[in-house]
Amino acid sequence: MTRLTPRHVLASLIICGSLLGLAACKPAEDTSTAPPAAAVEGPLSPKLIPAPAQMKVLVGRYVVGAGTVVHAQDDAARRVATQFADLLAKAGRPPLPSARDDAPGGIRFVIDASQSLQPQESYKLDIDNDGVVVRAGHERGLFYGAVTLWQLLTQDPAGETILPALHIEDSPRFGWRGFMLDSARHFWTVDQVKQVIDSMAIHKLNTLHWHLTDDQGWRIQILQYPKLTEIGGCRIPAGDGGKDPQTGKPVPYCGFYTQDDIRDVVKYAAARHITIVPEFDVPGHATAAIAAYPELGTIDTPLVPSNEWGVFPNLFNTEESTYTFIENVFGEIIGLFPGAYVHVGGDEAVKDQWQASPRVQKRMREVGAGDEMAMQSHLIKRLEKYLVGHGKRLIGWDEILEGGLPEEATVMSWRGIEGGIQAARQGHDVVMSPSSETYLDYLQTESPNEPPGRPATITLQQIYAFEPVPTELDAQQRKHILGLQANLWTEHTRTFARLQHHMFPRLAAVAETGWTPQAGKNIDDFLNRLPTQLQRYRSMKIDYAQTPFEVAIQSKDDRAAGTVEVHLSNPLGYPLRYTTDGSEPGPASELASDQPLTLKLPAEIHARTFFDRQPLGEPSQFRLDAASMLQRTDETLATCPDAGRLLLRLEDDGPLVGERAIFNTTIFYPCWQWNQANLDGIGGVQVRAGRIPYYFQLAHDEPNRKFEPASTPNGELVIRGGGCKGRILATTPLPAQPDADGFITLRSPLPEDAKGTQDLCIVFTGDTRPQMWVLDSITLQPR
């Protein structure tokens, strides 16, 4: 389906500047509207993320000038000094000269053998008027000290680059501070993966979980099985996204990493003290592999790498030859990734094909598996023996608990924290990664400017509040909680800019939970430090999300009085200033309060978020008049109470190249509701709708998909008053195809007795698969 230019365009964020792009905004005359800062010992709290374990701010400062020398005497210290110089270069700072002598002053990186018994990631940092010393027992800790030093560089009002006098003793709270990158659904180039690694390093994250295989693509070269990438590495996207608009021929979406690519990325990550954990998912999420080698599957139907999303029934079979294949693949993976862990997946393995397969049932009897869960457990236990025999540890999603865990297995708990609690009580190590708290592909605000994403909303505050160690565990069981990990699945993340939007700034909240002691966390203090972190992102050209810094508006009109009640807010609670005279808001403009504004129609509001009297975001402009109050878009409509779960923000399937329309819809029961619509004086409705592929595999949830019965061949647009159980106010037949622009506009009269304030329910009838109609906007039309 083709489309028009999108309604919403993300605006660039403007933050107060500094020489290095790293300093805090200059203090304001009036900071009473900023989020409160937590108390800190000393005259000023540096804006560090993650916050260090112990910090004492002292009186004094060290001036960094052209004559400042960086001292590093051994190879490890010199490597860290070089990385510190690279961080300065990314911020546009000229390089500092280096030396190996013991001359006083300057910046000194020291590997101190007396500190070697401390955790490898710990460091000490001392700054006074005479110089800087970063000290650690291991290169890893020295690197994290260099990252902290980079964050501390500040420009004073006179233009000098300074470091505040302080003493820091720092170690991370958790040993596993992870981020999962899904390269299977959408492929990321080697350079883009390296950018992800760079951003992880400045957050002191140390584990990259790399999801390399799935139903939609096989992304890692396996020399013994070349078809895995030749066939499994390409899919034909659904709809217009998989067609050449000129010829109509298929346009495949392809990508994989050669083994040399993998070695390059692993080396790059190791230099930044990040361990990569590869994932080859078994026995489910196997469509791409089975498409390449059909003998691996359980059914005879030929498969292709899927262009749909969701949960698929295709599993590896249980033949000995397939086990050999899986072990051979893991054998090549092991040779590429030197880290201790290998991820075997184990999630969402729908057992329908195994239940229906005489071969699998016979195999189950042979190995003594009482049911299909036990059969999966048999496979996982065999893989654990294989991995242990090759010096590796097995980790899998919490479904590997079903049927019994292998003796040394580690559990990654994603379906809440319950699986992690169960595993820890059994004496197994755990990484907490609940979808409800740490999935970064979930939307982060209610803004219409959010890119496509998965169900619901996970805000930065929600991620920051997550505590990985459950109170239900006793002291010994808590030791099994290795840490936490944020996951970013990329079904709906088609571009690298969107990937970064989902990651930042929420990854900063993950980093602070992973590093900072629980008692040292404070959301108000974090929000006080966040604007400075945004400057660091800008210096590294990280395209972080701007929606958390936007102004949101809610409005309710009084048509009879010709007024509108307006409430302005910001998702992170930063102060808002606004004008109603068309001028751009400044630090002296009116401060928005929790109380709504009442304005005469028409009204024009310009609003902007501020921190320390400096703007955080571009101004938002809202034009409110009689016409605009009669229209709602899909983003501003509610979900119908009967729509069920899985509200998605979905992208159109075309054009092949360029921007595409985005729609909010529920896939189990596509339905939209305009709550409290005022129908007085309204004679009809106009609906603009688009159509996109219904590309979802729902496995056992499929029966929950609801269809309103259709009365005409292509279904109808139905509008009810009084909610989705109310009476039908309007019905209009749907065409077989949308118009040339990919949309349709439908108009329906309303009965004369449709009056007052009531909830309008909008539904498209009929089983429209493999397509679905989606609402773009609805407009009330006066009589």
Checking DSSP bridges between strand 716-721 and strand 727-733, what pairing results, if any?
A: antiparallel
Report how far residue 351's alpha carbon sits from residue 370's, in angstroms, rounded to the nearest whole number: 14
- Asked if pLDDT for residue 720 goes beyond 70, the answer is yes
Q: Where are the beta strands (DSSP E) in 490-596?
A: 552-558, 563-569, 576-579, 590-591
Asked if residues 310 and 697 have their Cβ atoms less than 8 Å apart, the reply is yes
Name the amino acid, one letter, at 646.
L
Range scoring the smallest mean pLDDT among 40-44, 703-707, 744-748: 40-44
Contact between 718 and 730 (Cβ < 8 Å): yes
- The Cα–Cα gap between 338 and 275 comes to 8
**Cis? peptide before 283, omega within 30° of 0:** yes
**Could you write out the three-class secondary structure of 766-782?**
CCCCCEEEEEEEEEEEE
pLDDT at 13 over 50: no
User: Minimum mean pLDDT among 85-94, 205-214, 387-396, 637-646: which range?
Assistant: 637-646
* Nearest-angstrom CA–CA distance, 61 and 131: 9
How many CB atoms are located within 10 Å of the residue 749 CB? 14
Please work out, in degrees rounded to the nearest 5, the angle formed at the alpha carbon of residue 131 by the alpha carbons of 129 and 132: 125
Q: Is the pLDDT of residue 517 over 90?
A: yes
Which tokens belong to 764?
């498209």
Q: Quick one: pLDDT band at residue 617, thresholds 50, 70, 90? A: confident
For residues 159-169, give the mean pLDDT.
93
Model confidence pLDDT, tens digit, residues 68-88? 999 998 999 999 999 999 998
Whether residue 749 contacts residue 683, with contact meaning beta carbons closer than 8 Å, is answered with yes
DSSP string, 343-383: EEE--S---HHHHH-HHHHHHHHHHT-SSHHHHHHHHHHHH
Reply yes or no on whether 332 is catalytic: no
Q: Which two tokens stand for residue 737?
A: 């195809």
What average pLDDT does range 100-104 have in this prediction?
Answer: 76
> What letter represents residue 247's amino acid?
T
The Cα–Cα gap between 498 and 182 comes to 13
- Identify the burial level of 112 via C-beta atoms within 10 angstroms of its C-beta, where 0-12 means exposed, 13-18 middle and 19 or more buried: middle
- Distance CA(638)–CA(646), nearest Å, equals 14
CB contact set of 482 (below 8 Å; sequence gap of 6+): 174, 175, 176, 410, 429, 430, 431
- Which DSSP helix (H) or strand (E) runs through 281? strand 275-282
**Residue 634 corresponds to which tokens in the numbers above?**
């899909």
- Consecutive H or E run containing 697: strand 696-698
Higher pLDDT: 97 or 5? It is: 97
The pLDDT assigned to 168 comes to 98
For residue 570, name the pLDDT band (cuts at 50, 70, 90): very high
CA gap 532, 22 in Å, rounded = 6
pLDDT confidence band for 2 (50 / 70 / 90): very low
Q: CB–CB of 597/555 below 8 Å?
A: no
Mean of pLDDT values over 639-655: 84
Domains of the chain, CATH where assigned:
54-170 (3.30.379.10), 176-515 (3.20.20.80), 550-626 (2.60.40), 631-782 (2.60.120.260)
The sign of the dihedral angle between the CA atoms of 72, 78, 80, 84 is positive
Q: CA–CA distance from 428 to each of 209, 401, 411, 413 (Å)?
A: 19, 10, 7, 12
CA distance 464 to 462: 5
How far CA 229 is from CA of 224, 264, 423, 643, in Å, comes to 11, 19, 35, 39
The identity of residue 506, as a single letter, is R
- Average model confidence (pLDDT) across the chain: 91
pLDDT per residue over 177-195, tens digit each? 999 999 999 999 999 999 9
Residue 130 has pLDDT above 70, yes or no: yes
CA-based nearest residue to 695, from 348, 285, 309: 309
Strand stretches in 398-478, DSSP E: 410-413, 430-432, 442-443, 454-457
CA distance 205 to 275: 10
Rounded mean pLDDT, 330-347: 98
The strand pairing partners of 777, in sequence order, are 633, 688
Q: Is the pLDDT of residue 204 over 80?
A: yes
Q: Is the peptide bond before 505 cis (omega within 30 degrees of 0)?
A: yes
- To the nearest whole percent, how much of the chain has pLDDT over 90? 82
CB 306 within 8 A of CB 274: no
Q: Does pLDDT of 5 surpass 80? A: no
Closest CA to 732 of 764, 703, 771, 761: 764
pLDDT digits (tens, 9 = 90+) for 359-399: 999 999 999 999 999 999 999 999 999 999 999 999 999 99
Q: Give the pLDDT confidence score for residue 44 in this predicted structure.
A: 57
Residue 408 in this model has a pLDDT that exceeds 60? yes
- Per-residue burial over 635-661, b = 16 or more CB atoms within 10 Å of its CB, e = otherwise: bbbebbebbbebbbbbbbbbebeeebb
φ/ψ of residue 234, rounded to 5: -130, 140
Distance separating alpha carbons of residues 776 and 662, to the nearest angstrom = 9
Average pLDDT over residues 170-181: 98
Crossing angle between the packed helical segments 506-515 and 523-539, to the nearest 10 degrees: 120
CA atoms within 13 A on the CB side of 488: 28
Instruction: Tell me the per-residue pLDDT of 296-319, one tens digit each, with 9 for 90 and over.
Output: 999 999 999 999 999 999 999 999
Whole-prediction pTM value?
A: 0.93
User: Which of 348, 418, 604, 635 is labelled catalytic?
Assistant: 348
C-alpha closest to that of 746 among 721, 770, 711, 781: 781
Spacing of C-alpha 456 from chain mean position: 12
Q: Which stretches within 504-654 are classed as H helix?
A: 506-515, 523-539
- Residue 39, pLDDT score: 31
Q: What is the pLDDT of residue 83?
A: 96
Contact 139, 80 (CB under 8 A): yes
pLDDT grade for 12, boundaries at 50, 70 and 90: very low
549-570: buried (b, 16+ CB within 10 Å) or exposed (e) per residue?
Answer: bbbbbebebebeeebbebebbb
pLDDT for the residue 344:
98
pLDDT digits (tens, 9 = 90+) for 579-593: 999 999 999 999 999
* Alpha carbon of residue 215 to chain centroid: 20
Average pLDDT over residues 339-364: 97
For a pLDDT cut of 70, what percent of the chain falls above it?
94
What letter would DSSP give residue 157? T
Helix axes 320-336, 372-389, angle to 10 degrees: 40
Residue 598 reports pLDDT greater than 80? yes
- At 18 the pLDDT is 32
